[in-house]
Structure formats: structure tokens, C-alpha cells
Structure 1
């Protein structure tokens, strides 16, 4: 009986990577990195605002450093939700944040339709009056894409 080739095959197969034990977890696959293409945003127009009809008694707005309106959010004092709109490369986007107007005055995280728009106030209010602007950043993220961060002002009031 010729056992040489069989023993050689067994010896070579033993040199490979060992199979994981049945009770050991298998390594999880590495997730794909986010796309390098960040969403883009464009200024809102008067027609956009008329068409969007964002509900709420009081509003906050984000304007970039060129004083272009990029996002408007509205909510009721003591309300349960605040509504916002912004224009992205995929058209008008509606996003919401919990808590109504009071919860968004010092920044908020708005989500909806695979999009997140986060406003982070970065300093004290500048100027005077009832509704002085606060320096802030607007970070827009789409599922699986790199974020877009824009500097500007967050202004809230009547």
C-alpha cells in the first residue's frame, strides 16, 4: 500500500492556517471606510422657505461667514420637536430634533432621511439686542459619506 502521497497531503494541509475552534468568535469583517465625497449644501432662497413651510412659533437660522442662509429651524416653546430644512446636493432636506424651540437655542442635532445636521455653538453671542447671533459650526453628514463642516452664526428668536 502506498501511503506516501496521502501522508504528504496531510502534512501540507497541516501547514496552513488552523481552522477556528467552534466556540471561538470569528473575526468580524473590517467596515468599508466612508466615502470621501461629503454632501454639499446651498443657500436657501425665499421660494425654498415659502415651499418648505417649516412649522413652529420661533426660529433659529444658520448663516455662513458670507451671510448666506443655509438652514432654518422652527419650533414651539415647550414643544416636543423642532423642524428644520436645508438644501443639499440631493435637494431640499427636512430634518428634526427633539425638544422644540427651547432645545435648539444653544445648538442641536437634527436628523432625517439618512442625513444629520448638527449645530454646535462655539462662543458667546456677538452683538446686542433680543436675538444676537452666536458663532457656530454646521456639520452635515450623510450615511456613509465624509462630513461637511461650515462655520457661521446661529441666531435664534422671534
Structure 2
């Protein structure tokens, strides 16, 4: 029966290693998406800055009596920037949802890993207890045999 706990223990060790690998990969995926989010937020800030600048320029051109085609070009560009901001907001929301999804996945992986570690520890304790019981049994058999051989009983 000593071989059986070793087999189970090896299974737990492999499961723990697999969970560690999943945890590592998921952590990398989370870091990647956090970086994407940061980059997208910076991009959105740049667009907002450009938009403010173009609004000021448009106002100045309108107050100076600039011709209609130039004003229309500014208005069209501002509309494009507004659309970029809307699309960027959608992308940020998508990335945030993905980050939440990855965080939940990471929590589940860590919980599984912890469960397997507890099972592995329990299995180790049971294995050591079995070894100790086998040693005691052998020691008792040896003691009985020694006692019997000293007293002339075989």
C-alpha cells in the first residue's frame, strides 16, 4: 500500500505545477491588458487635448471671419475626433471587462492551487502516518520474534 500514496501524491504535485503554470500565464495576460488599458487611456487623453486645441483654433477662425470651407474642415475634424473618443471609450470598456474576466480567472486558479496544495499536504501526512504504522508493525513483529527466540519459542 506504500506505492499508492506516492502515485496520488505525484498527481497532486503535477496538478499544483499545472495550476502554477496557469497562474503565471494568466498573470502575464492580466499585465498585458493593464498595459493596453493604460496606453488606450493615454491615447484618449491625447485626442482630448487635440480636440480642445482645435476648438480654440476654430473659435479664433470664426471670430476673425474665416471663410466657410476652412470652418467646415475644422468642424468635420472635430466630429472625427468625437467619433474617435466614442470608439476609444468603447474599447476602454471592453478592455476593462476583459481585465475583470482575467482577474476572476486568476482568483479561481489560485483557489484551485490552494485546494490541491491542501490535498497534497493531507496526502503527505497520511503517507507518513502509514509509513510510521508499517515501521511500528515491523518493530512489533521483530520484538515478538526476538522475545520468542530468547524464550525458546519459534
State whether TM-score is above 0.5. no
Q: TM-score range by the shorter chain?
A: under 0.3
Q: Higher relative contact order at CA 8 Å, sep ≥6: structure 1 or structure 2? A: 2
Give the number of the structure whose residues are more often strand, by fraction. Answer: 1
